[in-house]
Homo-oligomer: A and B are copies of this chain.
Amino acid sequence: MKAIVVKPGTKGFELKDYDLREKLGDHQVMIKTLYNGICGTDRGIVSSKLSFSRPQDGFSELILGHEAIGMVKEVGDNVVSFRKGDYVVPIVRRGCGECLNCKVGRSDFCETGKFVEAGIRGKNGFMREEFVDDEAYLVKVPEAIKDIGVLTEPLSNVVKAIDELFQVQRRMIWNCEDGAYSCRNAFVIGTGPIGIFFSLMLKTFGFNVYLLNRRDPSPKEEYISRKINATFINTSKGLSDLPKVDVIADTSGFPSAFIPLLNKMNKNSALILFGTQSGDKTQIDADLITFFVENNIALFGSVNANKLDFKEAINYLTMWKEKYGDALSSMITTRVKPEEASKILLEKPSGEIKSVIEW
């Protein structure tokens, strides 16, 4: 079996034959990989910048890959939910089994930190011809979206964050007079796949969405913004055109990107932190804290997703495909064969929204 393998702590990766001799357990499913998506985490591991990456216990290397879609090749004797030929997406994080959140299926809120994440830390990932996984960690994908199902994993994290947003905002009445959200504005900072997913989610709930970047949109970004009726703003040209805002989703991780926007925040508004970076610094002062207090403003960091979020992500992809046509598939800007993986793992292709490996 071919697999894309890294040595955490060392730069680079290798596409090589790598036989794990996995046996199919009674509650397990064997899956032929169709596509892997690439994100900053994959490149961070390959460039050896992410210190938390580590091989699975008993291994010295790690198979990369946490975004995937595959087709069921074979099912174990006691598998009830899947059949040969089904399209499936695997869940990334596997809980610690110790804390209460993991015990009730919410490993995205694992408290011990003893979870593993396929392709990232402590568990081999999905960048390989095929893999065996427990039925419990798979979600089914309708055939109708097999072309974009590889987007499920990144979207699932956004689904969780938006779900958390509405939970947090139950602090007060946050809807508009008509019970919906058309009176609410949202800024999404960053226009990568996560930024586009935040925009799609917030549009779906009826928010007026502003996609912010420090440059003009690429043609693809322009196309997608128009399709989903969001407004792309080049913030390098000034912030004065921006309206007051009710929710900001930062996908950049740079405090210098979102701090200057905070004075646009309405009373009762919320800031979602999603992006992770390093190296950027900025100053805050007591007036900002007072502003948060006086205006009942909330902020939360959100990471990972649970199984229900994966299922909802698939529902959204299905709905959006029917509604927006090729807006979703146009997010996949580069498709390469495993042999060409260096083109997308070692560098970021120009105009990339999402690059995938096609097996």
Chain A positions within 8 Å of B, measured between CB atoms, are 81, 100-101, 103-106, 108-111, 113, 136, 142, 144-145, 164, 167-168, 170-173, 175-180, 182, 204, 206, 250, 253-255, 266-268, 273-303, 306-308, 311, 315-316, 318-319, 321-323
Contact = CB atoms under 8 A, between A and B. Distances in A.
A178 B298 contact: no
A126 to B, nearest CB: 19
Contacts of A283: 281-284
7 contacts: A106-B172, A111-B266, A136-B178, A175-B308, A254-B289, A277-B290, A298-B298
A166 B66 CA distance: 31
A22 to B, nearest CB: 21
A266 B110 CA distance: 11
Contacts of A279: 285-286
Given A105-B177, A308-B175, A284 B281 contact: yes
Given A280-B285, A293-B274, A267 B105 contact: no
Contact of A103 (B103, B268, B296): B103
A323 B146 CA distance: 11
A178 B108 CA distance: 12
